[in-house]
Structure 1
Amino acid sequence: MKVLQLIDSLRLGGAEKMSVSYANALAERIEGSFLCCTRLDGFLKEELHTTVNYVFLNKKSILDTNAIFKLKNFIKYHNIDVVQAHGSSYFIASLVKMLWPNFKLVWHVHNGASEQMNFFELNTLKFLSRFFDGIITVNISLSNWAKENLNCKNVIDLPNFVLNNSSSKVGDLTLKGEADAFKIICVANLRPEKDYSNLIKAFKEFAKNKNVSLHIIGNDLDTLYSEKILKELENSGTNKKMFYYGSRRNVIFLLKQADLGVISSRSEGLPVALLEYGLAGLCVVSTDVGHCKDVIKNNGIVVGKEDHIYLSKAFNTYYSNRELAKTDALKFHNDITKKYSPSTVVSRLIEFYNSILITN
């Protein structure tokens, strides 16, 4: 079996990380594992195993014929059996399938924001979903949404997983601020659904008269929203306690320097960052979005979304009780390493591929 992971960008992001993780994990299990980045190359490419065949399309526009035919020819030349299109890359994958239908197309939806698509986006997706042979979602809510709204009913719910790259080269970046501060870290791109305004408000409330710091890692997407958040950080009055690092390699190395990992989103599927917090041994606080509550269980604190007061109180719970923080962090770490390792997930994925391949 030969499988191609398709992704629009290889810059820091949950779907982007998962495309690389799937390509790497499958390389050990199937005949050929491939990854194609359509639009924005990035440093996540460096995490690909040498056994993964990589191609970059350098797509310039939504209907870039050079990119479309380059992808079609790559799939044809390598006799790809399955294309697993992550996120928005379903669009170019569907166009290619119209030209060359001799492969199975699986759409992998990661983001809970898919449920809030506008009329045009949803109808475009609904029309193109007739070319899907299967859909992968990261939680039951997204599975139900896909079955109700799209023209493909072959849907499987697969959780994200984390690969333990502890043997990889460590970074040399030290988190800023006071060395002995209680460090809160958030790994998320500067997008509206990540609700950084809520996080900043919560931290400002929590940080009064405390030796604490907030560390934000994620892409500045050069939008009005990201510009707004960066200004909020700059004008917060606690900017000597809040630090923005942009996109960084080897996030796990940075996470291990922190004390608490936070998800402050108003919409999610199953954030890879949450799993990485567990792998790094952090206690966690998250808003009740997507699959987060089911992952955390009683091993962390879950609060309502868009409520900075309760988010601030959750921070204070772990700040004022370090033993509880250590206990919950250990329980969460053990649960993540046990239930969200690649072996079980990839085995189920290969079974899903096989079921699709035997269907005409």
Structure 2
Amino acid sequence: MVDTLEMGGTERMSINIAKVMADQGFESHLVVSRRSGGMSSKVPREINLHFLEKKNSFDFGAFMRLLKLVRKFRPQIFHAHSTSVFWAIGIKILSGKFQLVWHDHFGLSDQLDQYPRKEMVPLSKWIDKVITVNDKLTSYWRGNLPLKPEQIITLKNFPFLILPKTTKNTKFTFLHLANFRAQKNHFNLIQAVALLKERRKDFEVVMVGEIVEKELYESILNRIKEENLSDFILVKGPSLQVEDYLACCHAGILSSDSEGLPVALLEYGLAALPVICTQVGDCDKVISSDQYGYLIPPSDAPSLADAMEKLLGSSDHGEEKGRALKQKIEVEYGSAAFFSAYSSFVSAV
């Protein structure tokens, strides 16, 4: 019998959790909706990997392949990440001899009034437990879903990272690790770079992430050209070698308008990078003081530029923040802390 089956919408966390389960001795299966070629190549060998080859939300053939997997392996716990929960509910209706745990990674937790997701209320009768990435989502669902409060909890995202041995870039490099979608507000960072280049020339920004919104991506490229920032901002797009960027860059940036608990922020910490991020979601719980980095208001390019200049002006000071953040991430956001809290949660009646 399979102990856990992971159906990922949010790839990094799906892989990380599946790996933790395998490391703890559980038979762990990871189901990938689409064979995108992305993070699936990073899945460790101890995880059983399956591809549904899903073409769209109504791909009946892919749904039946998932149903066949469940009936074959009979998981005790089915983890559904983000919108994968809709298919998981369908599977539970047809073959429901498992505990369904929904992981809500909703990135717009600061805008829940605009995105109430009311469809989850009637659907929640088939959901056994809910894990969210921050307290705002937990409070929201406890107030809206007809589940017991103890069936909905916050469990912190956690990173898994193995850095290659390499040297830092010659020029001070800020890494912006964020998918190209509106909430990540790349334009705020572009504006900050335009302001900073009037004061300093000894830096560059590397943008790495999946191209989720193609028109937005094209607009970002055009804005960089319009502002004559091509020598300061390098757009790399999607990459399977994120670890390489984390190893060779000097600092991490997140300029988002809204977040849950971004895994990129935790990865910056594991890489011992000093961090600048906007005060959204649970970012202030990670960067809880200036000891760990700089928190700035969202959509505030002058504040972002000022924080970038502070790190440029004192590399030793930045490295000290990076080391402190790495220690905090390892203690508070490691896989051991996640598994301990998770085990208590899923075993509770």
Percent identity between matched residues is 29
1:321 matched to 2:314? The reply is yes
User: Do the aligned partners of residues 273 and 124 (structure 1) sit closer, same or farther apart at CA in structure 2, a change above 3 Å counting?
Assistant: same
Question: Counterpart of 2:100 in structure 1: which amino acid?
Answer: L
In the TM superposition, what is the alpha-carbon distance from 1:115 to its structure 2 partner?
5.9
Note the 1:91-102 alignment, pairs <5 A: 91-102=86-97
3-state secondary structure, aligned to 2:239: coil
Tell me the TM-score normalized by structure 1.
0.89
Give the CA deviation at 1:26. 0.7
- In the alignment, which of 22, 41, 47 is matched to residue 42 of structure 2? 47
Q: How does 1:189-338 map to 2 (within 5 A)?
A: 189-208=179-198, 209-298=200-289, 299-338=292-331
Name whichever of 87-96 and 282-291 sits farther off. Answer: 87-96
Q: CA 1:99 to 1:261, structure 2 compared with 1: closer, same or farther past 3 Å?
A: same
Which whole-Å CA distance do the structure 1 matches of 2:338 and 2:13 have between them? 12
**Structure 1 range deviating more: 282-291 or 109-118:** 109-118
**Taking structure 1 as reference, are residues 114 and 140 closer, same or farther at Cα in structure 2, changes over 3 Å only?**
closer
> Structure 1, residues 268-317: CA drift from partner, whole Å, max 9, x if none?
01101111111111110010011111111121110111111111111111
| Structure 2: runs of 5 or more not aligned | none
Per the alignment, do residues 95 and 215 of structure 1 end up closer, same or farther by CA in structure 2, a change over 3 Å counting? Answer: same
Deviations 1:194-239 (A, max 9, x none): 0111111111111223211000000112532222222222332111
Q: What displacement does 1:117 show?
A: 5.9
Q: Structure 1, residues 134-185: CA drift from partner, whole Å, max 9, x if none?
A: 000111111101212233341111111122424xxx499x99xxx5322111
Q: 1:111-150: CA deviations, max 9, x gaps?
A: 3315646888712222322211000011111110121223
- Per-residue CA deviation, residues 229-269 of structure 1 (Å, 9 max, x unaligned), is 22222332111111011111231221121111001001101
Q: Which residue of 1 aligns with 2:137?
A: 142
* 1:256 and 1:281 in contact (8 A); partners too: no
The answer (yes or no) to whether the contact 1:135–1:152 under 8 Å persists in 2 is: no
> Retained in 2: the 8 A contact 1:115–1:145?
no
CA deviations 1:56-84 (Å, max 9, x no partner) are 11122222221222111211110111111
TM-score of the aligned structures, taking structure 2 as reference length: 0.92
Gaps of 5+ in 1: 9-14
Which stretch of structure 1 is more off in the superposition, 267-276 or 219-228? 219-228
Q: Letter of the aligned partner of 2:230 in structure 1?
A: N
Q: 2:117 aligns with which of 95, 117, 122?
A: 122
- Partner residue in 2 for 1:340: 333
CA RMSD, 1 decimal: 2.1
Supply the distance in 1 between the matched residues of 2:14 and 2:334 (Cα, whole angstroms).
15
Q: Is the 8 A contact 1:214 1:242 kept in 2?
A: yes
User: Relative to structure 1, is the Cα distance of residues 229 and 89 closer, same or farther in structure 2, using a 3 angstrom cutoff?
Assistant: same
Greater CA deviation, 346-355 or 291-300? 346-355
| Most deviating of 16-25 and 229-238 | 229-238
2:110 and 2:281 in contact (8 A); partners too: no
Query: 1:184 pairs with 151, 165, 174, which one?
Result: 174
Residue 123 of structure 1 aligns to a residue in which SS? coil
Aligned to 1:104: 99
Asked whether the equivalents of residues 171 and 249 of structure 1 are also in contact (C-alpha less than 8 Å), the reply is no
Query: Which one-letter code corresponds to 1:216 in the other structure?
Result: M
Task: Decide whether aligned partners of structure 1 residues 125 and 115 sit closer, same or farther in structure 2, where only a CA change above 3 A counts.
Answer: farther
Determine whether 1:152 maps to 2:147: yes
Q: Distance in 2 between matches of 1:142 and 1:94?
A: 20
Deviation for aligned residue 1:102: 1.2
Q: Which amino acid aligns with 2:4?
A: V
| Comparing 58-67 and 305-314, the one that deviates more | 58-67
Aligned equivalents of 1:288, 1:210: Cα separation in 2: 27
Q: Distance in 2 between matches of 1:151 and 1:77?
A: 31
Q: Which residue of 2 aligns with 1:5?
A: 6
Deviation at 1:333, TM superposition (A): 1.4
Q: Which aligned runs of 4 or more in structure 1 are off by greater than 3 angstroms?
A: 114-121
Task: Judge conservation of contact 1:4–1:80 (CA < 8 Å) in 2.
Answer: yes
